[in-house]
Every structure is written in structure tokens, then in C-alpha cells.
């Protein structure tokens, strides 16, 4: 067409056609770019969603989860117990083998740190005298003296930690054992309920069928949610009890950071209730059993004879009659909660 117009020697028409073609091509390019941009956004959203699915799928197919699934199946087969009792037995077994020794080790480290903290006041006084003498001898300024004094205290503290092998970071060792165990066993039970990772496997179908009749009482089927909400509420109450027991048995006033952690764990305990209402009952049974073990473990390690038997050093802050003191604090807190505003005003 352009060639035809050129041969007719009509430059105005040629220019107009060229401008029209350029506008049309520009509109087409703009539409294509816009379509491509929207396609890229949709692809990014799908990749994010598929990334989460891929993460859970990878975790579900991971080797630790596979070993945990096999262990749960073996314990059920050899014990001959129904699935709910087998889940409880395996929970106590794994926590007794893994988390209980780590918790005892944590208490040992905490007791050693408390004992070396008692040595610091004498060392601090000695370092103060040495810093004052050095200030006069070397004509240091107050700022230089304070810097040397702080470095000396830090160095002495590090020496005591190395001497007793009780670095504060070792107190977190329980989390490194308990959190992976909780995740792997939860995912393994979920796999058993949903016939994962291979729904066509005969063993997976047998296990899922056994779980449909392996419950107890109001939850005969462990593959469905607890519609009565008994287990989820029980889970929340036990987790709250763990937090409150740790708070009430603390002999020193809590720090600001400890108060923050207590409130965070209280919030998580409440949040876990609606979460537990949406998962199969097999997971609820496991979570309740695990939390019950944790509560019993904390109460047991309050006893001075038990602490002595497992090698936890005695400290000045150790409660001599922990259960009596805990019961008194529970009664005191219950009275405070039961008092009406008028009673509180009258007592004041």
C-alpha cells in the first residue's frame, strides 16, 4: 500500500498512513507489554504459592519424617495397642529419650551459671580496687578506667564460664531437640492420616483404615477433627499450666524479657486451641500427650531429691518445698481472681 501511494507521488497520504501504522503498532506493543506484565505478576503469585506447597511437600517427603513414620508404625505393630494409646506411648518414649536428658542438662547449666554468679561480687570488688590503683599509677582518665574495668569484669566472667563449662547458649539446647521432634512427629502423623507420601501403598491404606477405628471415647475415628473440642481446650489449658508453673516457681523477680516471653507463650497457648480444632484427632492426641509430658517433667524436676539424683547442683534459689509453695501461690492467685472490685477496695 505504501509503495502504491509512493508511486502515485502523494507524500501527504504516505505520511498519514505511516503515522497511523506507527500508532497502531505502538498500541499493540503497549498491550503486549501490559499483558506480559500481568502474566509475570500471576506467575510470581503462583510461584509463591507453589513455593509454600513445595516446602510442605519437601518436609512431608523428608528422611526424618519417613523414619518417624516407620517408628510410629513399628511401635503400634509390636505393642498391639490401639492407635490412640500407641501415639501416647511413642510420645512418652521419644520425649523420655530425647527431651528429658536435654532438659536435665539445661537445668545443670542454669545451676552452674547461678553458682558462678555468686562468685562475681567478690571479684568485682577486687577489680574496683585494682582499677583505682591503676588509675593513680598510670594517670588514667575516668573514661579509660571505666573501659579497663568493664573489660576485666567480662574477662573474669568468661574465665568462670570456661572453668565450669556452662556457656549461657547451652541453655537453649532443649529447643534444638524438642522443636524438630515436635515437627517431625506431627508431620509423620499427618502423613499416616492422609496416606502420604504414597496413597497407593498398601501399608499406608492399612494404617489409615486402622486409624479410623483406633480412637477412644468421643473420638473413635482419629482421622477426623474432634467436634466436641475437648482435646483442643485441654491442650490450651495444659500449655497455660506449663507457663504458669514456670512463672510461679521462679524465686527471683521476673525481668522485662521474661515477662515478654511469658506473655508470648500465653498467647501461643490460646492460639493453639483453634489450630487444634482444624486438625485430625490423631494430631490432637499427640499434642496433648506431649504437653502433658512437659508439664509432668517440669513438676518432677522441682523436687530437690529428684534434682540431686540427676546431678543438678544445689543452688540458694532452689525451693525446698516446691509443691507446697506452688499450691499456696495457686490459692493466692485464685483468691485474687475471685475477689470482686468491691472486695479489693475494702481490703485496701
Rounded to the nearest integer, the mean pLDDT of the chain is: 84
Q: What was the pLDDT predicted at 20?
A: 45
Q: Which residue has the cell 523436687?
A: 303
Q: What was the pLDDT predicted at 5?
A: 30
What's the pLDDT band for 346 if we cut at 50, 70, 90? very low
**Percent of the chain having pLDDT more than 90?**
64
Q: Which residues pair with 134 in a beta bridge?
A: none
What's the pLDDT band for 50 if we cut at 50, 70, 90? low
**Which has more pLDDT, 211 or 19?**
211
Does 134 have pLDDT greater than 70? yes
Closest CA to 306 of 294, 318, 324: 318
Residue 58 has a CB neighbour count (10 Å cut-off) of: 10
Does 164 have pLDDT greater than 80? yes
Q: Can you say how many angstroms the Cα of residue 272 is from the centroid of all Cα atoms in its chain?
A: 12
Residue 97 has a CB neighbour count (10 Å cut-off) of: 10
What's the pLDDT band for 51 if we cut at 50, 70, 90? low
What's the pLDDT band for 338 if we cut at 50, 70, 90? low
What's the pLDDT band for 293 if we cut at 50, 70, 90? very high
As a 3-state breakdown, the chain gives helix, strand, coil percent values, each rounded to 5, of 80, 0, 20
Q: What is the mean pLDDT of residues 324-344?
A: 74
Q: Which residues pair with 219 in a beta bridge?
A: 216
Q: What was the pLDDT predicted at 129?
A: 92
Prior bond of 197 cis (ω within 30°): yes
Does 237 have pLDDT greater than 90? yes
Cell numbers that stand for 203 in this block: 501399608
What's the pLDDT band for 210 if we cut at 50, 70, 90? very high
What's the pLDDT band for 22 if we cut at 50, 70, 90? very low
Distances (CA, A) of 335 to 236, 241, 329: 22, 17, 10
Tens of pLDDT, residue by residue over 74-132, are 999 999 999 999 999 999 999 999 999 999 999 999 999 999 999 999 999 999 999 99
Q: What was the pLDDT predicted at 202?
A: 92
* DSSP letters spanning 281-301: HHHHHHHHHHHHHHHHHHHHT
Q: What is the mean pLDDT of residues 167-179?
A: 91
Amino acid at each position: 500500500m505504501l509503495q502504491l501511494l509512493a508511486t502515485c507521488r502523494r507524500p501527504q497520504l504516505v505520511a498519514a498512513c505511516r503515522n497511523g501504522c506507527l500508532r497502531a503498532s505502538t498500541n499493540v506493543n503497549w498491550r503486549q507489554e501490559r499483558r506480559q506484565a500481568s502474566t509475570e505478576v500471576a506467575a510470581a503469585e503462583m510461584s509463591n504459592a507453589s513455593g509454600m506447597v513445595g516446602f510442605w511437600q519437601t518436609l512431608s517427603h523428608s528422611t526424618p519424617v519417613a523414619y518417624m513414620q516407620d517408628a510410629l508404625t513399628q511401635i503400634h505393630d509390636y505393642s498391639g495397642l490401639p492407635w490412640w494409646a500407641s501415639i501416647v506411648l511413642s510420645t512418652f518414649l521419644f520425649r523420655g529419650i530425647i527431651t528429658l536428658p536435654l532438659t536435665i542438662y539445661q537445668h545443670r547449666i542454669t545451676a552452674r551459671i547461678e553458682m558462678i554468679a555468686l562468685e562475681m561480687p567478690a571479684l568485682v570488688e577486687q577489680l574496683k580496687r585494682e582499677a583505682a590503683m591503676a588509675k593513680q599509677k598510670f594517670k588514667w582518665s575516668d573514661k579509660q578506667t571505666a573501659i579497663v574495668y568493664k573489660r576485666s569484669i567480662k574477662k573474669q566472667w568468661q574465665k568462670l564460664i570456661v572453668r565450669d563449662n556452662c556457656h549461657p547458649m547451652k541453655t537453649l539446647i532443649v529447643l534444638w531437640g524438642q522443636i524438630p521432634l515436635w515437627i517431625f512427629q506431627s508431620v509423620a502423623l499427618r502423613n499416616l492420616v492422609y496416606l502420604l507420601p504414597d496413597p497407593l501403598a498398601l501399608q499406608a491404606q492399612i494404617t489409615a483404615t486402622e486409624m479410623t477405628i483406633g480412637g477412644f471415647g468421643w473420638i473413635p475415628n482419629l482421622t477426623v477433627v474432634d467436634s466436641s473440642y475437648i482435646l483442643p481446650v485441654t491442650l490450651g489449658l495444659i500449655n497455660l499450666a506449663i507457663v504458669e508453673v514456670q512463672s510461679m516457681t521462679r524465686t527471683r523477680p521476673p525481668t522485662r524479657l521474661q515477662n515478654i516471653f511469658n506473655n508470648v507463650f500465653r498467647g501461643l497457648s490460646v492460639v493453639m486451641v483453634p489450630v487444634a480444632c482444624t486438625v485430625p484427632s490423631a494430631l490432637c492426641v499427640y499434642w496433648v500427650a506431649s504437653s502433658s509430658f512437659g508439664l509432668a517433667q517440669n513438676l518432677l524436676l522441682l523436687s530437690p531429691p529428684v534434682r540431686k539424683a540427676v546431678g543438678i547442683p544445689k543452688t540458694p534459689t532452689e525451693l525446698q518445698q516446691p509443691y507446697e509453695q506452688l499450691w499456696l501461690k495457686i490459692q493466692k492467685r485464685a483468691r485474687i481472681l475471685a475477689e470482686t472490685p468491691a472486695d479489693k477496695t475494702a481490703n485496701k
